[in-house]
Chains A and B, each alone.
Chain A
């Protein structure tokens, strides 16, 4: 149980285009989902917290207009990287917190984005 999927697992896009990453909780409902990015040999950096049916809360320094987050249902959150640039190339990981828990988080397998 407690499986989270991400799609796509990897994507290559051209500079200036937009990319959408999906995060789904497959066997549980998640009011809250988290989006992280991770650069090589560095720890996870929380980008934003998304709550179903409301606006995401972005961490300081994360551009909300560039990283659009939508959490339209209890099992799906999407992150859209708009007008991507090479410096956006990174490993993007989502996690989901079950509605039944205050502390559990289950991670998706991650999406590797390369912007050329």
Chain B
């Protein structure tokens, strides 16, 4: 079966760095996405990785290792507004997104 695993909840301090991990097992791979979702709102796109390596975009970076079925989202210089759920999703061989359950990130002052 297809499976995406990510931690349910994480807590970090304002100004610090946090890494949210995601492991996956899917039928085929056409890329991995990270989305941010604030409570009561729709997800917003953060990053897309299809090749191994690190993609940096401002305070956010995303890493992919296809051989390990592993990705992480790195958030630097955390701000209170970064408190949200972070969703990992993998696009399978049919170009359908398989979603993880999301990681709720709590930022403390």
Contact = CB atoms under 8 A, between A and B. Distances in A.
A98 interface: no
Interface residues of B, number: 19
Interface string B85-101: 00100010001110111
B43 interface: yes
B99 A103 contact: no
B31 A103 contact: yes
B87 A103 contact: no
A4 B31 CA distance: 22
A107 B48 contact: no
B30 A103 contact: yes
Nearest to B100: A43
Contact of A107 (B40, B42, B99): B42
B33 to A, nearest CB: 8
Interface string B39-73: 01111110010100000000000000000000000
Interface of A: 34, 42-46, 49, 91, 93, 102-103, 105-110, 112
16 contacts: A34-B97, A43-B100, A43-B102, A44-B99, A46-B96, A46-B97, A46-B99, A91-B40, A103-B50, A105-B45, A109-B41, A109-B42, A110-B40, A110-B41, A110-B42, A112-B40
